[in-house]
Structure formats: C-alpha cells, structure tokens
Chain A
Amino acid sequence: MTNRSARERISDFNEVPRGYTAEQAIEEAKRCIQCKKPKCVAGCPVEIDIPGFLKFVAEGDFASAVKKIKETNALPAVCGRVCPQEDQCEKECILGVKGEPVAIGNVERFVADWERGTAPAVSRSDRGGGKIAVVGSGPAGLTCAGDLARLGYQVTIFESLHVTGGVLTYGIPEFRLPKAIVNLEIEYIKSLGVEVKTDMLIGNVYTVEELLKDYQAVFIGSGAGLPKFMNIPGENLDGVYSANEYLFRINMMKAWKFPEYLTPIKIGKKVAVIGGGNVAMDAARVSLRLGAEEVYIIYRRTRREMPARVEEVERAEEEGVIFKNLTLPVQYYAGDNGWVKEAECLQMELGEPDASGRRRPVEIPSSNFKLQVDTAVCAIGNSPNPLVPHRTPNLETEKWGGVIVTAEGLTSIPGVYAGGDIVRGAATVISAMGDGKIAAKAIHKQLSAGGI
C-alpha cells in the first residue's frame, strides 16, 4: 500500500495510506500459500478464517470474502486499520520466515472498504433468545452485542457519551480511523437488531444489579478511560492536557472546527507529548495538523522499547515529530500568563530489564535541562474506568482496577460478564473484540443451558 506524502497529509485529517486497488488486493491475496494448518488464524484474537477469505479475494469474489470475515469479525474496516497485524496474524505467516508475510490487514481493509460501496446482506435471526444489556459501545461492547444479536438475542447497548464507538470515536483520530467508517460499522451492528442508548451512565442511572432485573445477562465493556498523570509539579497548569482531554476535544467535540463547533482547544506552537504509545503518536500527529510548529515526543526509554506500532512511529517521524528519547519530564513552569512555558526534563539511560522485560530507564544525575513548550500532553496510559466497579459492590477487581474475570469472561457476579480494557487495562481494539466474542459465546452457552 502506498502512503500519501507527509507534507500533504499534515495539512488535513484524511487517511495516510491510499489503500489497495482491486488488482493489488488480488495479487497480494494470491501470495497466500493456503497452509493446511494456518498459524495466522491462531494469531488472530477473533480467529478469522484468514486463508479462507484470502482465497475468495484471490478469485476476485470480494462479497464472499467479506462474508467469510464477518462470520467472526463484525468490524473488519476498523481492524484492517488499527490492528497490530505485525504482532498477530502477519507475525505468524509462514512467508514471513524468509520474506514478507502476506499483508493480511491491508487485504482485510480493502474488502471491508469494497463492501461499503455495496449494501451489506443482513441475516436477522428471530428475537427469541432473551434480553442482554451491554455497557459501553466500544470495540468490546459492539462485538459482544453483534455476536449475541446474530444468535437471536435482544441486545441493548448503554453508552455514557453522546456518540457511540467508545475509543474508536473519542480516541483514535480521523486520519487513522475515519469516523464515517466507524459509523458504518455501528450501523451494521444496529442492522442486526441491536438497540443503542446513548447518554446512559450505568452505575449512576441504573446499577448493574438493576439491569439484572430486566436483562438475563450483562456485559461490561466500559473501557480504560481514567487518565494517568505523572504527579509532578506544575502538571495542573493551563496548557497541560491529558491525552484523553486533548483527543476528546478534537475527535469527539471537533474543537478543530471552532467556533462552528463550540468546544475550544488551544494548541501552542511548541507541543510536548509525553509517552511512547499509539495514543502519544496520535496526539503528536494531531498537533502538527492543527498548526503546531514543533512537536516533541518525550519518552523515557528508547525507540526500541516504544509500545506504539512501528508504522505509527515511522509516520510520526516522517511528518516531522521530533523524538526526545531517554527523557523524563520532572516539572512544568508557568509563564506570566499562568500558562505552561517550560518543561524541565532529566536525561535517562537504560539499566537492567524490569518486570516487563524492557530495560529500566535510570536517571542520569544533574542532567536537567529545560525545554520551551506552550502545550504539554500527558499520554502515559489509562486505567480501567472505575465508575461501574465503584457502584457495583460485589464486582471484584484487581488492585490496579481491572475487573477480575474467568477465561470465559465471567465476573464475580453471576450473569455479569466483562471484557476489553475494563479487564485488561489499556490494551488493543482487537483484544477487546476478542473478549467481547468470548463473553458472547459464554452468555449464549449459559442461557441455552437454562439460564443463570
């Protein structure tokens, strides 16, 4: 797949890759050698029949290819864009041993986009399977809802925000995941018979216990929405944002179209984004598109340890983001206007590996230096959203906030399942979808066996 030039793309919010043509997709799919025991499928959290759909693509039968994917994955246009295929299906592809693996993600993206031009065939089963409540309309909730609807259940999704999609909508920027695509995927889920109620904060408006009176099972997919801060002096100065706030203003509230949209945002000339994950790259790249002159990624380890996808780091660099690795902010200072003006940082070096297996960053004494910035974005991660657990007394959680579940996604409360970031802490879209699938299967099994 070819990308648009960095210069062109930082002047708009359109996607970076151009996408395959039909010929390119067929050619790429033909590279699949149709392994008898395909390892790629085992590498996929939602177990898409990858050789199966690639075979259809190779034959030019895109409609059958999409149908094949949608047997296990309701959101292919999303997954084709934001899945870390290089760590999953493509990592396992046998062709990758000696050369390039099949570009499974790109082909998936192509067929999902191809389908958008056609009217998807929808098979609705009868609605005799009972009522299920799903909390949160992010990837975990949408997947769980879609699977259960296909099995004939009446599913209602409760979303706390005014727009559906969870992190797909508020978190991931337009240029990485166009909202028109997210909306179409959600329309598809709704076409299966799923009802979505927005502006419904479960825990506050109805408790999980109350939901259990009206629904036979509840799936909690309320995500990891609680932003972490570094708790350093000056972090509450104006101009210091959490990545959530920054991206929420831009992606969800469309602050870049102010005053047509009434939520404002202030992006300075020099922006420092703290962190090395995909969210940090998103915040940095959004800043460039909104007129920042210098954008830094400040990360305490080196590029090798960055949790962001290599592709995203490369794109950020191409677009002009300046990487200040082995750097740790320790304090922010304000200018006369009370707005952040400087970030004091320390230089780091890598020491012994820590629990995550990555080499631990160690401070170099007296290496302090000051960086002139007028905006700082803290993108060091999120914790599970505590609202539902706090208001559900019998729901057991880990010390760090994650809801405890069995391998089937069952929580400590009978009939209540959970999955995605509320269980894992901030992880990936596809792992959340995998969890939604597992829980849907378990709910179906439980209810078919005679209830909870």
Chain B
Amino acid sequence: MFKILKKERLAENISRLVVAVPHIARAAKPGNFVVVIPTEKAERIPLTIADADVEKGTIAIIFQIVGATTKLLDSLKVGDEIPHLLGPLGHPSHIEKFGTVVVIGGGVGIAEIYPAVKALSKAGNEVIVIIGARCQDLLIYQHELGKQCKDLRITTDDGSCGRKGFVSDELKDIISSGKKVDLVVAVGPVPMMKVCCEVTRPHKIKTVVSLNPIMLDATGMCGVCRVVVGGKTKFACVEGPEFDGHEVDFKELTDRLKPYRDVEKQALDHVCRLLSITPQ
C-alpha cells in the first residue's frame, strides 16, 4: 500500500499525484514508468514517472482522466493508499551530451518529458522545449519546464496561448531557421509523434518517441504492447518504451490502440455508478 501525499489538478482532466514509494523512487530514472492498480478490481495501467525524489522517497505520476481506471485513480484523495504500484519499468531514456536537443511534449506528454528535459539540461545540452495543447487551460507544467530550459515554446490549437498551431509547426521553423538540431524527443499522442517524425525524416535528425500501446503486466509476459520497429516486432514494455521514431509503424500502433474503445464507456459508466457521479 502506497500513501498519496499530494494531489493537484493540473488542468480540467489532468491530475498529479505524489506517492510515497521509496523503493521505486531510489531506482527510477528518466523515461521509466510504473504500473498502477488503483483498486483491486481495476486495470493495470502504465504511467510515466514524472518526477522522483530519492530523499523524500516519493514519485510523481501525472494522468489524464480518460477512462474507468483513471477515474478511479482520480477518486483517491490525499492520505488514501494505492494498493499496487510496480516499477520502475522500461528502459530509461538515453541521456548524454548530444548538443542541441528539441524536446516536444503534447497533452499529458508535457509532464512526461519533464525528467528527460531536466536530465538533458544537466548533461550539458542546449535544450529547446516545445509544448502544445488544444487550448491554454490544458497546458501543464509550463512553469516547471521553464525552470529547466532556457528556450520554452508554446503552441495551442486555438491560439489561446503561444503560437496558434501545432508543435510540429514550431519544430519545422526551428529546423528551417538553420539551427543545427542533434536530437529530437517527442512524447504525446500518436498523431503528434508521427507528424514530428515526418518533419525530421528528410533532415535525417534522429527522433526518439515514447510509445504508449496497451499494456497488461508490463513486464514482458503478455505481448499486448507489441509494436513494429524497423520491421521487427518489439515489446514496448521491456524493449521500450522509447524507440527510433523513423522506424516505428505508427499505423499499426494506432490500430492496436483501438480494440477496446467500444467497451470503455461501459466500464466508465460502471465506475461512475460506483462513485455515484454522473458520467460526462
């Protein structure tokens, strides 16, 4: 059982929890994730470790409230305990001095890039961060990321904050300005990562993406997270979650995220009844 020490609502449907789990905090590295089971009957869901504090023995997880299990997780309050938390999982991000690195976060992916931005800056890279969301209200971690890099750029679909447009537009401009970019890291919704890879491909700029397929055990046992990278099937949970974006079969990834969409509503309705709230 792992106690929730802090809970914040970062945006309308995005929450952040700080949980006491010293054994994970001490072993966590940027890019690692955890599996969370908020109640005994819930799903096992993978969430990126958004921050880890070894001294305090805590980790932070950030999640979008999209389905039944995230709804349950969000129903927990400070002082409540999460019954199961497994991690750190996956390969950590590869951190070294690359030169100039553009790190892109979209949606809840904005929070997920935070540990990498911190580590890349510390390793002596010039880090340019681009974050994007539908509108200003959904932008998160602006302040925190601003502290970790000198160049933070913001885009919103509706222009309510920063540039009106997509993160890929900003990426295009950086590249066409003649700036030498050594590495791009993109974390967010599949279409966003795909478009970023298309922008960098003609320029042969190495682009790392963090994939988010369906996971179950997340320890390499079930294979539901299989993704095709460079023509080969890989298990994202143990061989990823970060891969060379130019090699990823995004179409298949998109298809493999779909199978349970039609029953998600059923699960969500059930949870809303449990929590006595009206489904949205």
A interface list, Cβ under 8 A from B: 160-162, 170, 198-201, 204-206, 225-227, 229, 231, 235-239, 241-242, 244-245, 248-249, 253-254, 258-264, 266, 338-339, 385-387
Residue pair A387, B222 in contact (C-beta under 8 Å): no
Smallest Cβ-Cβ distance to A247: which chain B residue: B222
Residue pair A204, B84 in contact (C-beta under 8 Å): no
**B212 on interface, CB distance cutoff 8 Å:** no
Which one of A198, A204, A253 lies within 8 Å of B43 (CB-CB)?
A: A253
Contacts of A201 in B (CB 8 A): 86-87, 89, 219
Other A-B contacts than A206-B23, A338-B258, 10 sampled, CB-CB below 8 A, are A160-B86, A198-B84, A225-B219, A226-B220, A245-B222, A258-B263, A259-B68, A262-B42, A266-B260, A385-B221
Residue pair A236, B233 in contact (C-beta under 8 Å): yes
Which one of B87, B223, B255 lies within 8 Å of A229 (CB-CB)?
A: B223
Contacts of B267 in A (CB 8 A): 258-259, 262, 264
Which one of A170, A236, A386 lies within 8 Å of B256 (CB-CB)?
A: A236
Contacts of B219 in A (CB 8 A): 160-161, 201, 225, 385, 387
Instruction: State whether A262 and B43 are in contact (beta carbons under 8 Å apart), knowing that A199-B86, A338-B255 are contacts in the complex.
Output: yes
Residue pair A204, B216 in contact (C-beta under 8 Å): no
Residue pair B221, A162 in contact (C-beta under 8 Å): no
Q: Could you pull out 19 A-B pairs where Cβ atoms are within 8 angstroms?
A: A160-B217, A205-B87, A206-B27, A226-B220, A227-B221, A227-B223, A241-B224, A242-B223, A244-B223, A245-B216, A245-B222, A245-B223, A253-B43, A262-B270, A263-B44, A264-B260, A264-B267, A385-B219, A386-B220
Give the complex CA separation of A362 and B223 in angstroms.
29
Residue pair A162, B23 in contact (C-beta under 8 Å): no
**Which residues of B (189-225) have their CB < 8 Å from a CB of A?**
216-217, 219-224
B151 to nearest A CB, angstroms? 34
Which one of B24, B84, B255 lies within 8 Å of A162 (CB-CB)?
A: B84
Contacts of B24 in A (CB 8 A): 205
Residue pair A238, B223 in contact (C-beta under 8 Å): no
Smallest Cβ-Cβ distance to B260: which chain A residue: A264
Contacts of B233 in A (CB 8 A): 229, 231, 235-236
**Which residues of B (29-57) have their CB < 8 Å from a CB of A?**
37, 41-44
Give the complex CA separation of A227 and B217 in angstroms.
13
Contacts of B258 in A (CB 8 A): 238, 338
Smallest Cβ-Cβ distance to A338: which chain B residue: B255
Give the complex CA separation of A259 and B263 in angstroms.
9
Give the complex CA separation of A254 and B216 in angstroms.
13
Q: Which 9 pairs show the lowest CB-CB distances between chains A and B?
A: A245-B222, A259-B270, A225-B221, A242-B223, A162-B84, A238-B259, A199-B86, A259-B267, A264-B260
B24 to nearest A CB, angstroms? 7
Residue pair A260, B216 in contact (C-beta under 8 Å): no
Give the complex CA separation of A97 and B88 in angstroms.
56
Contacts of A264 in B (CB 8 A): 260, 263, 267
Total inter-chain residue pairs, C-beta < 8 Å:
120
A274 to nearest B CB, angstroms? 14
**B69 on interface, CB distance cutoff 8 Å:** yes
Smallest Cβ-Cβ distance to A235: which chain B residue: B233
Contacts of A226 in B (CB 8 A): 220-221
Residue pair B27, A205 in contact (C-beta under 8 Å): yes
Residue pair B220, A262 in contact (C-beta under 8 Å): no
Instruction: State whether A244 and B221 are in contact (beta carbons under 8 Å apart), knowing that A259-B270, A338-B255 are contacts in the complex.
Output: yes
The residue in B89, B221, B269 that gathers the most chain A C-beta atoms within 10 A of its C-beta is B221
**B238 on interface, CB distance cutoff 8 Å:** yes
Residue pair A227, B41 in contact (C-beta under 8 Å): no
**Which residues of B (225-280) have their CB < 8 Å from a CB of A?**
226, 228, 233, 238, 252, 255-256, 258-260, 263, 266-267, 269-271
The residue in B89, B219, B270 that gathers the most chain A C-beta atoms within 10 A of its C-beta is B219
A135 to nearest B CB, angstroms? 12
Contacts of B72 in A (CB 8 A): 262
Smallest Cβ-Cβ distance to A226: which chain B residue: B220
Residue pair B222, A244 in contact (C-beta under 8 Å): yes
Residue pair A238, B86 in contact (C-beta under 8 Å): no
Contacts of A387 in B (CB 8 A): 219-220, 238
Residue pair B85, A262 in contact (C-beta under 8 Å): no
Give the complex CA separation of A365 and B260 in angstroms.
39
Give the complex CA separation of A231 and B222 in angstroms.
15
Smallest Cβ-Cβ distance to B270: which chain A residue: A259
Smallest Cβ-Cβ distance to B23: which chain A residue: A205
Give the complex CA separation of A205 and B84 in angstroms.
14
Smallest Cβ-Cβ distance to B226: which chain A residue: A236
Give the complex CA separation of A46 and B84 in angstroms.
34
Smallest Cβ-Cβ distance to A263: which chain B residue: B43
Instruction: State whether A253 and B270 are in contact (beta carbons under 8 Å apart), knowing that A236-B226, A238-B255, A263-B43 are contacts in the complex.
Output: no
Give the complex CA separation of A261 and B274 in angstroms.
12
The residue in B42, B43, B68 that gathers the most chain A C-beta atoms within 10 A of its C-beta is B43
Instruction: State whether A262 and B271 are in contact (beta carbons under 8 Å apart), knowing that A204-B89, A387-B238 are contacts in the complex.
Output: yes
B198 to nearest A CB, angstroms? 22
Contacts of B259 in A (CB 8 A): 238-239, 266, 339
B142 to nearest A CB, angstroms? 32
A280 to nearest B CB, angstroms? 16
Smallest Cβ-Cβ distance to B269: which chain A residue: A259
B264 to nearest A CB, angstroms? 8
Contacts of A161 in B (CB 8 A): 217, 219
A45 to nearest B CB, angstroms? 25
Smallest Cβ-Cβ distance to B42: which chain A residue: A262
Residue pair B222, A248 in contact (C-beta under 8 Å): yes
A155 to nearest B CB, angstroms? 19
